[in-house]
Amino acid sequence: MIGDSKITDVMGTLLRYGPKYAGALRNVIFGYSGVVDMFKVFGRYLVGDVVILRDSDDKYSPENLLEKVSEAIRVLLEARSNQSFDLRVMVGRQFPKDGNCDLCIVS
């Protein structure tokens, strides 16, 4: 996924080549393979959800981030009436307190 730079539309048409990662949350990098528009919607949903929940007990935390990313992808699938779409999200996290890092794929 890290070497993937082919950016395509929902029909699989090549749009261009470029970086496919973003840092929307502190100490977290998201990368993706699949359709660029689905990743944009995923990013907007995720960032909006973080802002909405920032003062809630259900806010994003290192412990629940992967679960919430998976839920965001499920919400996108439901919004598309369960029609599958090509999107796999890579989540790279750094934990500043203990210096550990992890890398996970969510699809």
Give the CATH number of the domain where residue 39 resides: 3.60.20.10
Position 82 pLDDT exceeds 80: no
Q: What is the pLDDT of residue 85?
A: 74
Q: Which of 73, 80, 90 is nearest to 32 (CA)?
A: 90
Single pTM value for the model: 0.78
CA distance 4 to 21: 10
Better-scored residue on pLDDT, 81 or 92: 92
Instruction: Please report which helix (H) or strand (E) contains residue 107, including its range.
Output: none
Whether residue 1 lies inside any domain: the answer is no
Whether residue 39 lies inside any domain: the answer is yes
Specify the number of domains making up the chain.
1
The pLDDT tens digits for 39-65 are 888 888 887 888 788 888 888 888 888
Q: What is the mean pLDDT of residues 15-26?
A: 87
**Residue span of the structural domain in which 18 resides:** 6-106
